[in-house]
Each structure stands twice: as structure tokens, then as C-alpha cells.
């Protein structure tokens, strides 16, 4: 099986930066594309901060962190992805933006057998595959935040994903990145978010109704169920905009009330209170 060591990533936000980091830590040369120079600079800084954390926690030596950074190139030019064997899309969780990204990737990526993967949290892979002329090469590779810490990747195959594409994508996640892969059919939310998002929305409804405080809800799940963090802190970590976008995809797919975003979540997103990345969500984060 051909090794996928020329990797591209589209988007250098929370997830794209993490994916670029783990690929470069595994030895791949990674080209990351962002919307413009300012976003590219912010994305590179995000990778640098995460590598600094890894060094501070003694997961990585200083010189290794420098070498990892040297394998990551971040810029605004989509054409830089032309020679990639694998591209992972990690742009915002908005269907129109993702569809347009796949349309562009189809034009730009030269290798006829390149794997075009999406890190979408919830959008059916088929919707992205059909934006290309090579739907058999489109697959879901869904990572979890923080990507350098969490070992899981969901592999999502659409009705049209080729077996070879799925094998190569899985091999990349397991053999190159040393991640644990679980397989899901192409249904909105896949396995993890189909279970996680209703839980987060229930916690928001519980707080919104005055039933309990944010702190008590989170403490309940941390101390009572040994979760690493409570649901409201986790929603802040994921980003409330992403949490809402995933809820909307799930609701659109299944039309079940448990996936409907509560009004408080919508208002917080409208207000820009998006969680950790915005400095404020259910909690305040010192800058
Ligand atoms: N690089 C390498 N290792 C790192 C690191 C980094 N940048 N940052 C932290 N670590 C390591 C630490 O060294 C520690 O390792 P150890 O257990 O071997 O000592 C481990 O990660 C955990 O770190 P800490 O115990 O210090 O805890 P923190 O408070 O710093 O981090 C957390 C906590 C990892 C975020 C933990 O609370 C957690 O796992 N929370 C749950 C996160 C979660 O559920 N994510 C999934 C979100 S859903 C998603 O992403 C899907 C999307 O589609 C919505």
C-alpha cells in the first residue's frame, strides 16, 4: 500500500492545526492552506502553542518541536496542494463552505488516486463527495479535539467510497498517526457526535431552565461519572458555533427534537460567546 506522506490540510483552526501537528509529528511533510495571510499566521501560531504545551508536558523534546514545525508549511495558496497524496479538509462546519472546498480540491489536486478526506463532525460525506468528479476517493476522517491528545479517528465511508480509498485512509490513521479507528456509516453525526451532541444539548437545556448551575452540572458529570470534563466545559472546548452546527446537521437528518438547538445556545452563538476560543462561553477564560 502506498504510504501517504505528502499530506495537505485545508483550514488551520482548532482541528486543522491539530491534524497538521499530528501528521508532522509522525514525519509527514504537511502543507496547510488557510483563507488568507492573517489566518495562516494565526494558524501557525496555534500549532506553535500546542507544540509548546507538548514540550512543557514533556511529550516532546525542544528540538523535535522545531523539526515538527519545519515540516509544516502554512499559506493561503490552494494550488500548493497540487502534489498531495492525502488532503484532509478542516474548514468551518458549514455545508456550503465544505462543498466549495471539495469542488476546489477536485480542480487543484493532481494525483489521480489522491485521497480527499473530510474532518466534518456531522455533514454526510456523500454531500461532499458529489462536489467532486471522484466521489470514490472521498472519505470521512473525523478527529477529536485536542487532536494530539485524543486517540480516536472515525472513518466514514459513503455509498460511493472505494475500498482502496478507505484502506489507505485507515492505514494513514492507524499506521502513520497511531490512532484508533472506528468505522461509521455515512449518517449525520456518525457514531460519537450522534451520541455526544444530544447530551451536550440536554445539559444546556438543564441550565437554561434554571434546574442547576453550570458549575453543578459539570461537577456532577466529572465527579459522579468520571468524565474528564463536564458537558458545558466541553461545549466551550468544542466551540458553541461548532456544537450548534453539528446539532443542526443532526436535526436536518433525523428530525428528532433531541437534536434541536436550545434557544440559549443560538443566542450565545449570535452574541459571539463561542467558548474558549472567544474567551467566553458558559465560562470566562482569561486571555
Ligand atoms: N500535546 C501532547 N500531549 C498533550 C498536549 C499536547 N498539546 N496537551 C495535553 N497533553 C497531554 C498531557 O500531558 C496529559 O498526558 P498524561 O495523561 O500522559 O499525563 C494528557 O494530555 C491530559 O492532559 P491534562 O491531564 O493535563 O489535562 P488538561 O486539562 O490539560 O487537558 C483534556 C484536558 C485533554 C482537554 C481533557 O480534559 C479531555 O480529554 N477532555 C475531553 C475532551 C473531549 O471530550 N474531546 C472530544 C470533543 S468532541 C470532538 O472533538 C468532535 C467534534 O466533531 C465536535
pLDDT averaged over the chain?
Answer: 96
Q: Once rounded to an integer, what is the mean pLDDT over residues 49-63?
A: 96
Residue minimizing CA distance to atom 18 of ligand 1: 59
Residue minimizing CA distance to atom 39 of ligand 1: 228
pLDDT digits (tens, 9 = 90+) for 182-216: 999 999 999 999 999 999 999 999 999 999 999 99
Q: Specify the ligand 1 atom closest to the Cα of 119.
A: 53
Look at residue 4 in the predicted model and tell me its pLDDT.
Answer: 79
Residues 6+ apart with CB under 8 A from 32: 8, 9, 10, 11, 12, 16, 17, 20, 40, 43, 72, 73, 74, 75
| Nearest in space to 75 (alpha carbons), one of 33, 44, 46, 116 | 33
Cα of 149 from ligand 1 centre, angstroms: 5
CB 190 within 8 A of CB 154: yes
Cα of 258 from ligand 1 centre, angstroms: 27
Cα of 55 from ligand 1 centre, angstroms: 14
Verify whether residue 154 is a known catalytic residue: yes
Look at residue 287 in the predicted model and tell me its pLDDT.
Answer: 63
**pTM for the predicted model, two decimal places:** 0.94
Amino acid at each position: 500500500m502506498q504510504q501517504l506522506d505528502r499530506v495537505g490540510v485545508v483550514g488551520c483552526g482548532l482541528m486543522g492545526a491539530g491534524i497538521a501537528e499530528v501528521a508532522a509529528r509522525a514525519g509527514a511533510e504537511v502543507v496547510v492552506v488557510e483563507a488568507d495571510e492573517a489566518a495562516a499566521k494565526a494558524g501557525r501560531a496555534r500549532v506553535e502553542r500546542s507544540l509548546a504545551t507538548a514540550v512543557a508536558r514533556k511529550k516532546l523534546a525542544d528540538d523535535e518541536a522545531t523539526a515538527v514545525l519545519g515540516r509544516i508549511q502554512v499559506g493561503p495558496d490552494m494550488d500548493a496542494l497540487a502534489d498531495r497524496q492525502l488532503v484532509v479538509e478542516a474548514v468551518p462546519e458549514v455545508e456550503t463552505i465544505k462543498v466549495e472546498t471539495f469542488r476546489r480540491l477536485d480542480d487543484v489536486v493532481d494525483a489521480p488516486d489522491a485521497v480527499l478526506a473530510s474532518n466534518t463532525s456531522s455533514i454526510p460525506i456523500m454531500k461532499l463527495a458529489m462536489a467532486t468528479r471522484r466521489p470514490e476517493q472521498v472519505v470521512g476522517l473525523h478527529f477529536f479535539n485536542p487532536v494530539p491528545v485524543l486517540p480516536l479517528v472515525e472513518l466514514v465511508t459513503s455509498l460511493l467510497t472505494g475500498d482502496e480509498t478507505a484502506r489507505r485512509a485507515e492505514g494513514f490513521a492507524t499506521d502513520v498517526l497511531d490512532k484508533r479507528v472506528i468505522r461509521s456509516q455515512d449518517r449525520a453525526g456518525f457514531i460519537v457526535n450522534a451520541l455526544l451532541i444530544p447530551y451536550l444539548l440536554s445539559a444546556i437545556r438543564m441550565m437554561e431552565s434554571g434546574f442547576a448551575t453550570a458549575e453543578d452540572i459539570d461537577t456532577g458529570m466529572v465527579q459522579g461519572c468520571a468524565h474528564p470534563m463536564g458537558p458545558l466545559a466541553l461545549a466551550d472546548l468544542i466551540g458553541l458555533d461548532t456544537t450548534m452546527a453539528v446539532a443542526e446537521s443532526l436535526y436536518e437528518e433525523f428530525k428528532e427534537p433531541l437534536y434541536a438547538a436550545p434557544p440559549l445556545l443560538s443566542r450565545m452563538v449570535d452574541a459571539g460567546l463561542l467558548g474558549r476560543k472567544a474567551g467566553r462561553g458558559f465560562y470566562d477564560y482569561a486571555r
